[in-house]
């Protein structure tokens, strides 16, 4: 019982609710936008470059996965 109460007090002292959620949300949106841009550029160059050969499927899948993760980060709300 004492350990649980002590952990709650320690957590309450170290976390500021409003400041942390703002910066976490901002970082999520920034990295989501970055992943979307990089994934879209990779997908464009993968589709337009003929010299990749067998690696075009690999880079196509990697770029689509990056796009999906980026969109997920952009659309999901941070917990409050």
- pLDDT tens for 41-70 read 999 999 998 888 889 999 999 999 999 999
**pLDDT above 60 (res 2):** no
Residue 21: predicted pLDDT = 79
pTM, entire model: 0.71
- pLDDT tens for 12-37 read 555 555 567 788 888 899 999 999 99
- 3 state SS for the chain: CHHHHHHHHHHHHHCCHHHHHHHHHHHHHHHHHHHHHHHHHHHHHHHHCCCCCCHHHHHHHHHHHHHHHHHHHHHCCCCC
């Amino acid at each position: 019982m004492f350990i649980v109460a002590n952990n709650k007090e320690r957590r309450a002292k170290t976390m500021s609710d409003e400041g942390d959620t703002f910066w976490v949300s901002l970082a999520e949106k920034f990295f989501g936008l970055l992943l979307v841009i990089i994934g879209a550029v990779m997908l464009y160059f993968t589709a337009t470059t003929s010299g990749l050969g067998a690696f075009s499927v690999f880079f196509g899948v990697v770029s689509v996965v990056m796009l999906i993760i980026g969109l997920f980060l952009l659309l999901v709300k941070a917990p409050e």
